[in-house]
Amino acid sequence: MKIERKYLAHYIDAAPIGSSNAVYERLGMDLEEFRAELAAQVDTKKNILGETSVVISGYDKTAAVEPYYAQTGSALFERLQDIIDNNRVLDDLKVNVVEVKLWEAESEGVYPAVREEAYVEVTSYGGDTTGYQIPFTIHYTGTKVKGTFNVAAKTFTAN
Longest dimension (CA), the chain: 64
Return the exposure string of 100-113: e unless at least 16 CB atoms fall within 10 Å of the residue's CB, then b.
Answer: bbbeeeeeeebbbb
Burial of 86 (0-12, 13-18, 19+ CB in 10 A): exposed
Q: What is the pLDDT of residues 109-157, one digit of tens each?
A: 899 999 999 999 999 999 999 999 999 999 999 999 999 999 999 999 9
What is the pTM (predicted TM-score) of this model?
Answer: 0.90
Query: Average pLDDT, whole number, for the chain?
Result: 95
Per-domain residue ranges of the chain: 5-158
Nearest Cα neighbor of 5 from 44, 43, 25, 31 is 31
Amino acid identity for residue 119 in this structure: Y
Under CATH, to which class is 5-158 assigned? mainly beta
In the prediction, which pLDDT does 61 show? 96
In the prediction, which pLDDT does 118 show? 98
61-84 average pLDDT score: 96
In the prediction, which pLDDT does 128 show? 93
